Amino acid sequence: MGASVTATALQLKNLENLIHGVFAPQRFLALLQHFSVFEEAPDSDALHKITAGYHQFQAVSAAVKETVRASGMGPASGSQARSLTIPWA
């Protein structure tokens, strides 16, 4: 019985972490706004909503954040602040 209780407690803790992670207001709104699409099935004209998985959301968010940081286009922050030079302008 002890292993069963421990497994259930672990499952509840994992579910709690998922809920707090996904449903944080800013994160949830970003997931809905930028990571959800609607597709119409060609054979039935039914509308399907497709939402990115949490791991996809995290990976793309990290990649975009790093791209903005590396390009120097993000908000200036201390020694990381740079100006964008456009050689043909």
What confidence tens digit (pLDDT) does each residue in 35-75 have? 999 999 989 989 999 999 888 998 999 999 999 999 988 77
Q: Whole-structure pTM over 0.85, yes or no?
A: no
pLDDT computed for residue 89 by the predictor: 43
- 2 in any annotated domain: no
- 11 in any annotated domain: no
**Cβ atoms of residues 36 and 49 within 8 Å:** yes
Q: Domain count for the chain, please give it.
A: 1
- 17 in any annotated domain: no
- 18 in any annotated domain: no
Output the CA torsion sign for 7, 13, 19, 22. negative
